[in-house]
Amino acid sequence: MIIRRNFEEQLSELQEDLIRLGRFVQEAHGKAMDALVRQDLALAKQVIVDDDFADDITFGIMARTTQLLALQQPMARDLRFVAASLKIVTDLERIGDHASDIGKVTRSLAGQSYAKPPVDLPQLSSMACKMVGDALHSFVQHDIKLAVQVARDDDAVDDLCEEIQREMMDVMRSDSSRVEQATRLLLAARALERVADHATNIAEQVYYVETGELRPLAREEHNHALFASLGLEESDWKTHQRRSTDNGQNSP
């Protein structure tokens, strides 16, 4: 019983470390976007430097997780939790990297005649960071429904990112002097889109821990929304595809 209690304490500490890293990278994104909007070079540099701290936390979590796998030999849900933690910490580390990327965008624009980024860019940041927060909350609360909602929210982020891309392309076509600036802002938008993708990855790992089933939640939710917009049931579409394939194979 003492050994088991110690193991449970180690799992709890592992979860706390993951949450701490998650909060840190969320805050980094808030600072990075604030620096970009206000062209605060000092804050942007701080975000870039702080990424090393996120990396250090990541290495510590990975070492702890590997040790748990080697020494405790967890089974069933505990094994899924430890294995998923290795994936989650990688996604959180990449989210931190994207905050640093946005800081570097701000640094690259320093000293230039600067027009504020599109209002949709801070909104995109807010949406992506909310997905990260929701994914972490689903992890702590064992909330499968919230994990699925995170995957569902990815479509809205993708749509807004495409809208920003179109806007920046229009800027480049209309004003050649802003091509570099618009390109940099496109990089920031793309970084935020990837943050949402990593949040979805975390949600998929939460679903796996709680159910034992690995599912591509983002793809499933995207397809569900697509079929709903067309007034179709996904099962009907799959039946149609299967029949089309069968007919193609039976053709002379």
pLDDT of residue 120: 93
pLDDT of residue 229: 59
Greater pLDDT, 110 or 59: 59
Contact 221, 155 (CB under 8 A): yes
21-34 pLDDT tens trace:
999 999 999 999 99
Share of the chain above pLDDT 90, in %: 71
177-227 pLDDT tens trace:
889 899 999 999 999 999 999 999 999 999 999 999 998 888 887 787 665
DSSP state of 115: P
| Residues of the chain by 3-state class (helix, strand, coil), percent to 5 | 90, 0, 10
pLDDT of residue 231: 65
d(CA 5, CA 180): 57
Q: Work out the angle between the directed axes of helices 234-250 and 217-229 (0-180°, nearest 10).
A: 90
Mean pLDDT of 238-243: 54
Share of the chain above pLDDT 70, in %: 86
pLDDT of residue 6: 87
Mean pLDDT of 66-73: 88
d(CA 92, CA 58): 8
CATH architecture of 2-236: Up-down Bundle (1.20)
- Residue 117 falls in which region: left (phi positive, over 0), alpha (psi -120 to 50) or beta: beta
d(CA 175, CA 195): 30
Nearest residue to 120 via CA among 37, 53, 62: 37
- The tokens for 184 are 């940099």
pLDDT of residue 237: 47
pLDDT of residue 218: 81
Q: Which of 46-50, 105-109, 244-248 has the lowest mean pLDDT?
A: 244-248
In angstroms, what CA-CA distances link 46 with 77, 106, 111, 187? 39, 12, 18, 19
Nearest residue to 219 via CA among 201, 193, 240: 201
* Burial class (CB within 10 angstroms; exposed 0-12, middle 13-18, buried 19+) of 69: middle
d(CA 184, CA 198): 21
pLDDT of residue 86: 95
d(CA 100, CA 249): 51
Looking at every residue in the chain, the average pLDDT score rounds to 88
pLDDT of residue 245: 52
Domain ranges within the chain, ordered by starting residue: 2-236
Amino acid identity at 157: V
- Helical H segments across 142-232, by residue range: 144-174, 179-211, 217-229
223-239 pLDDT tens trace:
876 656 556 565 554 55
Would you place residue 72 in the very low, low, confident or very high pLDDT band (cuts 50, 70, 90)?
confident
93-105 pLDDT tens trace:
999 999 999 999 9
d(CA 219, CA 131): 16
143-160 pLDDT tens trace:
999 999 999 999 999 999
Residue carrying the six token digits 């050994």: 3
pLDDT of residue 77: 92
Contact 15, 64 (CB under 8 A): no
Would you place residue 7 in the very low, low, confident or very high pLDDT band (cuts 50, 70, 90)?
confident
| pLDDT over threshold 60, residue 162 | yes
